[in-house]
Structure 1
Amino acid sequence: MIASSRTAVCRAAKKQFSAKTGARAVSAWAKVPQGPPVSITEAYKADSNPEKINLGVGAYRDDKGKPFVLPSVRAAEKKVVESTLDKEYAGITGVPTFTKAAALLAYGPDSAPIKEDRVAITQSISGTGALRIGGAFLERFYPGAKTIYIPTPSWANHNAVFKDSGLKVEKYRYYNKDTIGLDFDGMVADIKAMPKGSIILLHACAHNPTGVDPTEEQWVAIAEAVKEGDHYPFFDMAYQGFASGDTNKDAFALRHFIKEGLRPCLSQSFAKNMGLYGERVGAFSVVCESGEEKKRVDSQIKILVRPLYSNPPIHGARIASEILNDPALNKQWLGEVKDMADRIITMRALLKENLEKLGSKHDWSHITSQIGMFAYTGLKAEQMDVLAKEHSVYATKDGRISVAGITTGNVKRLAEAIYKVTG
């Protein structure tokens, strides 16, 4: 009798517990929305066509379409490993031999801020990390409006990085879809129309995603417009050397702005020009007015970095440091960067040549006038759909292609596919 009563009580308690907890059984993440799939990668992998072409990958590929590790990187890594260095934490701002060399590469040995030691710099988690640190620094300390103007279009992650940094993101005209080139007049007009003291993001070279860069003469005019508006320039330089094959030429805009008395901040990445994608090697720097100001800026950068990730990884930075500081390795690397840039330039020329040989009536000169890894073809979204569905050629809906995905083995078939789609 007692046993059966206890059983009844237990059942009642369980029922009551289930009723109470049932209301709380919904997961805390039940309302987290599903993000969009990485459609290009998934569709490409699912395609069984042995001649399929992936033009959506934002990483360099050799002429066989394979990932490429630079010989200079292999040699530098060997030196690092054989040095049997410890694995202690780097300082908050990174490996000093790397950051010093990175600043020198970007600003040049004749730069006044370098000579006067007034560049505050920190190692970062590649270019994205540099942008994130920069966004946070500007949000916290920039005395003007907390709004940053980015080009239309820009790298997709710019908008997200700066918004997550607490900045308001606005846009200025950049790409002219009718000419498939730079909307120079619109860009300058928008810069002049920005509220005085605005922050403006500028791609130093190899504009991503269009591949459309201002000429040196246009950069001079852009710098003048920025000066007139008392705007603050933030340069994103993810492709130094990888754009033209010349690290000095690719740094023209940044260095010209400094010669004009402007004091920009800079995001650098060594993913593309050294092929250190997964090593995540980058740097963020601020050109300061004086050495004393540099010390204060440096102290605040450390305060920002500390709760983000404390210390950057050391292995990739040590590799980059070896390449930048060893004269023989540096010379070898500069040659390899030029070779990579030249391959991209050659693939552009071959694609244009093949399209013209097929009798295309379209003007494809923009393919070779653009620069860097990416090219805006001018193709519409529906044409890109046909390329994927009927020709197994995969790229983004806006007509952007990664020229690194073009090889001597697939360029003819690619041209034929584009010709069939465009007429």
Structure 2
Amino acid sequence: MTKDIKKVVLAYSGGLDTSIILKWLQETYDCEVVTFTADLGQGEELEPARKKAEMMGIKDIRIEDLREEFVADFVFPMFRANTVYEGEYLLGTSIARPLIAKRLVEIAHETGADAVSHGSTGKGNDQVRYELAVNALDPGLKVIAPWREWDLQSRNKLIEYAEKNQIPIAKDKRGEAPFSVDANLLHTSSEGKVLENPGEVAPDYVYQRTVNPEDAPNTPETLTIGFEKGDAVSVNGVKLSPAMLLTKLNELGGKHGVGRLDLVENRFIGMKSRGVYETPGGTVLLAAHRGIESITLDRGAAHLKDEIMPKYAELIYNGFWYSPDREMLQALIDKSQELVTGEVTLRLYKGSVNVIARTSPFSLYSEDLVTFEEGSGTYDHHDAEGFIKLQGLRLKTYAARARLMAQRN
């Protein structure tokens, strides 16, 4: 089987694990490896990954800035649905995987590769997300998952392999890493090691993008986000590209300690996992989007969106971004956003974000209808009597039967 693999495209971070995978692929499959490193706004210098790949003999090294595509084509569509998994998680890791998988497949096609490879462990969700995406985009392409094939199942074995093959090891990797971090423009995700016991409080040093809310400024900050057709387009009147807008919201939210989450979630593969997430810009964006929808969406449309959202979130979490059911739900969601346009004003203060004002040229809010003062007469209070009688009809019928049954007993 290994003889069938001549070229592999590897999702490569330049870290210890994927550097070992790179060498392992060369040894195990005797194949050419193309490395692909995606800049999704993780905030790390990516050139060291290029230099390490060059040192390991790689000729075709791809490093791509995908920040704008990530936010515009993946994060924003997800936020149109107000997507939250299990009531709290904003899916920062989940939504990045389909884009990385898409580029892996595209590069495989460009280079004539027989397979793609990733560094996800056999216990995590990411292996499922990558491979389901590849299945959907090119079912004939082989996926190599080293963590499910090799016998390097401990950190010590990985380091021994690295030393044997002269793979550079960062100093902090020689001891027990305090926790594992995944980051992109939407969030940071920390798990493992010091976080594995959900009964222990996460150390302060785990948090990287947000200040401790207790140490945040003592003065609230107000900002205004502009929306067009469900997507944020400006902050405080300044038009920004999708990636730059999320970067700005991360800065503002992080400064005020917004967006921290300590969560025990249910992984798709069947186990529970404790993670610490920081999503400052996303938390602000979610509040703002719900704020603009509150005045532009019809009640039925808004409630329907809330009903389908958990299913939509589950599809993304479980790796089905490229599935027909996710695409069907997306079409419904996008239809609902046609008039979700306007501005929302929010207040950030010590870990909290609150909508304090919202306006839209397409607002369904009518001061005339809701005023406690004398209105224009478009609403007749007497109409409520018939409405309540009809709504109460089934309750009266139910109560009458209950009284009859009580009498018989």
Q: Normalising to structure 2: TM-score of the pair?
A: 0.30
Q: Normalising to structure 1: TM-score of the pair?
A: 0.30
Report 1 or 2 for greater relative contact order, CA contacts < 8 Å, sequence distance ≥ 6: 1
